[in-house]
Amino acid sequence: MIIEVWATTDVGKQRSINEDCYYVDSDHELILILDGMGGHQAGEVASRLAMDTISSFYKEHCGGSADSSDIFDSYDQRFTYHTNLLRQATFIANRVILEKSLENQELIGMGSTLAGMAIHDFTVSLINVGDSRMYLIRNGLMEQVSKDHTLAEDQVERGIMTRDEVRDSQLRHILSSVIGVDPRIRVHMDELTVFPGDMFLLCSDGLTAVMSDPEILQEVLRDKPGPRTLDRMIEEVNLRGGPDNTTLALAVFIEEPQPVKESKLQSLLAKTLAVFHGRKRNISKARLPGGYRCLNWS
């Protein structure tokens, strides 16, 4: 199986600064979307700091295993090493941003959301904090695989609101967990096996504030998935006023037409493609069912 990944970010129509950012790393098979918040330029500082901290911690340790590591504050046995690694990276980012914000008056209260996925061993590890979302699109259906950390969601869990009421509630804009504001942080984790045809959409709330889930699904399925899919969604968001920054990443798992063993040339090319950070469009590879390590770019 091959994974193709595209990502893009747009400032929108009403803001002058883009506080969102994204990270796509084909070598370590890691995709992150972050939405920063805070006055002045603090939101921008927070999201980039979280991105750098999480990605570098993950890269540093993703080759390790649960037994050999003393890097964890806590280890959740129900999840794989890689998912625990993403969570630990998020804990560290939380401390780093909190410390940084205490150093400088202008940065106090800054924070960032996170939606991240790492691909490894036939599966994806999913992690999220705040209201940036991840969707799995499989067999023409879309399922939200992240959990919103908003007060509206809390009220649903307490039985005070119904799920249908959330969309119209002001509480859905108030985050109950965010990286960098409180020493305690809620992190949602999940793990999924993946199959050819699966697509994952990661997005900041710039998209979900103006488009409903069925509208998003319709846009994803409109045509063959590719960079145009993301461009069309950004265009639609801006047509609807573009109130916020919007960041999108689309990962598509596809069947390799014929098994190709990785040649020396390919592995060399893979290395040269190692630096992906900040590029608009990226293609990734992974080891997945079928057992081949393949690389594809177009």
Q: Which of 56, 104, 144, 193 binds other proteins (CB under 8 A)?
A: 193
Binding characters for other proteins, 111-150, by CB under 8 A (x = yes): x---------xxx-------x-------------------
Size of residue set near other proteins by CB under 8 A: 52
Name which of 189 and 217 has its Cβ closer to other proteins: 189
In the region spanning residues 34 to 93, those forming contacts with other proteins, defined by CB under 8 A, are 35, 37, 77-80, 83
Site membership for other proteins, residue 210 (CB under 8 A) = yes
In the region spanning residues 150 to 179, those forming contacts with other proteins, defined by CB under 8 A, are 151, 154-161, 167-168, 170-171, 173-176, 178
Which of 129-163 are b and which e, b meaning 16 or more Cβ less than 10 Å from the residue's Cβ? bbbbbbbbbbeeebeebbbbbbbbbbbbeeeebee
The length of the chain in residues reads 298
Site membership for other proteins, residue 20 (CB under 8 A) = no
Name which of 83 and 282 has its Cβ closer to other proteins: 83
Decide if 17 contacts 269 (C-beta within 8 A).
Answer: no
Nearest to 32 by CA among 147, 203, 180, 188: 203
Residue 227 CA to residue 214 CA, distance in Å, equals 20
User: Rounded to the nearest whole angstrom, what is the least distance from the CB of residue 202 to other proteins in the complex?
Assistant: 17
Decide if 14 contacts 258 (C-beta within 8 A).
Answer: no
Nearest to 252 by CA among 273, 232, 225, 220: 225
Binding characters for other proteins, 268-297, by CB under 8 A (x = yes): ---------------------xxx------
Question: Amino acid identity of 127?
Answer: I
Contact segment (CB under 8 A) with other proteins among 93-101, 238-246, 261-269, 273-281 equals 238-246
Residue 133 CA to residue 71 CA, distance in Å, equals 27
User: Rounded to the nearest whole angstrom, what is the least distance from the CB of residue 22 to other proteins in the complex?
Assistant: 18
Backbone angles phi, psi at 91, to 5 degrees: -60, -45
The DSSP letter of residue 18 is -
Contact segment (CB under 8 A) with other proteins among 47-55, 207-215, 226-234, 271-279 equals 207-215
Residue 48 CA to residue 93 CA, distance in Å, equals 10
CA distances (Å), origin 223, targets 49, 105, 215, 246: 35, 48, 14, 21
The DSSP letter of residue 263 is P
Contact segment (CB under 8 A) with other proteins among 23-31, 91-99, 183-191, 256-264 equals 183-191
Site membership for other proteins, residue 208 (CB under 8 A) = yes
Residues found near other proteins in the complex (CB under 8 A): 14, 35, 37, 77-80, 83, 109, 111, 121-123, 131, 151, 154-161, 167-168, 170-171, 173-176, 178, 181-182, 184, 189-193, 195, 205, 208-210, 212, 240-241, 243, 289-291
